[in-house]
Amino acid sequence: MTDSRSAFIRGMSLLEMMVAIAVLGIALSSLYSAASGATRNVRADERYAYAVELGRSLLADHSPAPSSGLDVSGITEGGFKWSVIARPAQTGRSGLKPGALQEIEVVVSWADGLKDRRIRLDSVVEGTFGEGSR
């Protein structure tokens, strides 16, 4: 009886090895899944930050806007679609000329996997009159 006990104590059985390998496989697949999810989130955040900066840049580039309004659009090399629309703002009884203030809307959209994402920036800018209009 002493010989069989010492053989049992010295090593692991085949079943124990299979269970250990299965547990290791599950742990590694969980780690891989978490790492790929984090990478996906970082990529999505980078694209969102780029879209916001593109929108802010377009807003600055088209301020002031022509008093007659503006409607331009385009696509960047990275696949970001953008549009800038300016319309004369309602000034009411302020005494301002029509078109002196422009409501401006900047929209940037992009594909994020199977989802379409977009941001929209709205503001009011000065309208330009005369030859300086774009």
Q: Does position 2 have pLDDT exceeding 70, yes or no? A: no
Phi, psi for 43 (deg, rounded to 5): -65, -40
Number of domains in the chain: 1
Mean pLDDT of all residues in 101-125: 93
Between CA 131 and CA 66 the distance in angstroms is: 10
What integer pLDDT is reported at residue 9 of this predicted model? 61
Task: Give pLDDT tens digits for 18-48.
Answer: 999 999 999 999 888 888 888 888 888 999 9
Contact 86, 62 (CB under 8 A): yes
User: Residue 66 belongs to what domain range?
Assistant: 2-132
| Residue whose token pair is 């549009």 | 83
